[in-house]
Amino acid sequence: MTKARILIIEDDLEISRLTAMYLESENYDTKVINDGLLAVDTIKSYKPDLVILDLMLPGLDGIEICKQCRTFYFGPILVQTACADDMSEVSLLKLGADDYLTKPIRPHVMVARIDALLRRVGNKSPDTTMITVGLLRLDTASREVSLGEIKPVLTEAEYDILLLLASNPGITVSRDDCCRSLRGIDYDANDRSVDMRISGLRKKLGDISPPYQLILTVRNKGYMLVNG
């Protein structure tokens, strides 16, 4: 079985060394770079299955790396940050990060998050199955989405939430279920990552003007994809 490749972008040499050592003990292949200026080219050449990205880097910071690589890399990005500022985390989610961890990192939590992210990527149907809700079409084999003439490029997390909603058209999907689709484990219900993903989906689908929204917010309950 081919090992998943994880690129660790972290300027703290001891943290990057320990992270690589722990992940290799969990049967992952790893590559470490310590300079933000090398990040984008390394993602292109190494083609990782997942990127662990520190925010504070020399040369090019994590936000800019995330922004640049999302033009060509659509695998999971797990951000590690020492910053407790919610706006920093929200900014990363808007730019395309799939998940984040606040330092100090607990290795078993990191591996659980990585496993959940990689399971999402790996859970692709071998056969083409088309989910159609009105003008919205999701190809679950290629993970491509179209809404009429719009063909948005979604991150893995955005696609997974849309797939969950499209699989339950006209039904309210709870925030807890959306959270589990993102992370695969329970976490703080006050986390805003689901809201950020829904906001990103609406923008990419051109779905930002009520009362004709495709994705509705059901107050105190969750979200619903309009059926038809």
pTM of the model: 0.61
Q: What are the Cα distances from residue 61, in Å, to 56, 92, 114, 115? A: 6, 11, 22, 25
- The strand ranges marked E within the chain are 5-9, 29-33, 50-54, 77-81, 99-102, 130-133, 136-139, 144-147, 173-174, 215-218, 222-225
pLDDT in tens for each of the 228 residues of the chain? 568 999 999 999 999 999 999 999 999 999 999 999 999 999 999 999 999 999 889 999 988 998 899 888 888 999 988 765 655 666 767 777 888 888 888 898 899 889 888 887 764 444 447 889 888 999 887 788 999 888 988 888 888 889 889 888 888 988 887 876 665 544 455 567 788 888 888 888 887 655 568 899 888 888 999 876
166 SS3 class? helix
pLDDT for the residue 220 = 84
- Pair 79, 92: CB distance under 8 Å: yes
